[in-house]
Structure 1
């Protein structure tokens, strides 16, 4: 096995005394794990930062063997990890992608969308510029892995107007009229997901609650508390920004 490709670093885990196991997302070959010799060294630590864009070269003798990986840094986002809110956004976007994507299956739309979210965080650290993109990325993640939501028509009436909620069971939108008497059992559907445009903080937080419900139910089962903790840090820092 020999692969050379640009990739977004998603996760880094120490292995042995000096090495690291890295998971990186490529556009054409999907998520690729690899062992980086000396990955815990002072020289490689700044390179092995989740969200960095790298040129990776994977080599192994068999498809089953964990490939050895060498890396060249193309673009670093490491400076953003000194700012709490952008750092939380980068950590969550890369961690959830590493946790749910299968190895070796290409998802070019997800690669492009994730690259866009990370670039948006870098360009607008204040969050109003990237939180909407993050919600849309999470919806795309669900859809690409077979758990897409239906936000185009009402589960109760079949109509496509005045959609304001989502059923937590079916993932189908519900109109304001169709939700009468059941509002407290439904998830709020922010208008930016149906009509586009800008979003206020309440809509952004509603969007994050919506996607988290289905991510936890369908994709994050058994993935461990660390992933949910990363999401918790993100929401906590967003709430501080709102206050």
Structure 2
């Protein structure tokens, strides 16, 4: 068995004296593992930082074996992530969520390409928070928990949509909410693709997407807690929003 693909390095762990087990996300082969012999060498270590883009060749005698990887570096992203605390925290959140929610060896090509584009924006801090929010929406959609924010679940109107149902993920208008308003999640304009997309609004929106990540996506995976890296990124963005 053999395949070749490009991929994003999600993480590594030591295997034996000189080898590493690489966890990668590829467009055609999904989240995949493989053993890289000599992965701890001085020549390879600089190229195996989380978020790196790699040219991958995977070989195994049988398809269900972990297999062996050979890699060639395509481009690094560590220098972009290290440019600021927010960039580093954001990259860590993306990689951790992909590792957390993606089933092994199942292709999710649209999400892969969105993730690659997002990570390539790490050096543009003005664009990153909004791009990350849109990526979380895409992640929820790809995993089967898309939000429907097109019209009010109660009245059918497309006007004055200000809430999201925590159960259905559908928008609710101010009038449609009625006495249930305090039980609904906020729907800031940035989630509708409108407004100035200020950091404070994005933080509010991430509170809403976070509900569905935790109570719907994570719950479907056995109630495992969301990766701490996601919370760390949102907390850091919230602190940044207060200074602007």
What's the TM-score once normalised by structure 2's chain length? 0.90
* 2:227 match: 228
8 Å contact from structure 1 (residues 9, 24) kept in 2? yes
* 2:13 match: 13
* 1:186 match: 184
8 Å contact from structure 1 (residues 99, 223) kept in 2? no
Structure 1 residue 114: Cα displacement: 0.6
Structure 2, unmatched stretches of 5+, are none
Structure 1 residue 209: Cα displacement: 0.9
Structure 1 residue 33: Cα displacement: 1.4
* 1:105 match: 106
Note the alpha carbon deviations across 1:165-201, whole angstroms, 9 max, x for none: 1111111111121123333211111212224454012
* 1:118 match: 119
Structure 1 residue 223: Cα displacement: 7.2
> Counterparts of 1:71-220 in structure 2 under 5 Å?
71-82=71-82, 83-122=84-123, 124=124, 126=125, 128-196=126-194, 198-220=196-218
Structure 1 residue 205: Cα displacement: 0.5
* 2:28 match: 28
CA distance in 2, matches of 1:96, 1:195: 23
In structure 2, relative to structure 1, the CA distance for the partners of 1:43 and 1:5 (3 Å cut) is: same
SS of the counterpart of 2:238? helix
Structure 1, unmatched stretches of 5+, are none
CA distance in 1, matches of 2:40, 2:105: 25
* 2:40 match: 40
CA distance in 1, matches of 2:96, 2:198: 26
Structure 1 residue 203: Cα displacement: 1.4
CA distance in 2, matches of 1:232, 1:62: 39
Note the alpha carbon deviations across 1:94-129, whole angstroms, 9 max, x for none: 11012111122222211111111111222x1x3x31
Structure 1 residue 224: Cα displacement: 5.0
SS of the counterpart of 1:219? helix
Structure 1 residue 81: Cα displacement: 4.0
Q: How many residue pairs end up in the alignment?
A: 239
Instruction: Please give the root-mean-square deviation of Cα atoms over the aligned residues, in Å.
Output: 1.9
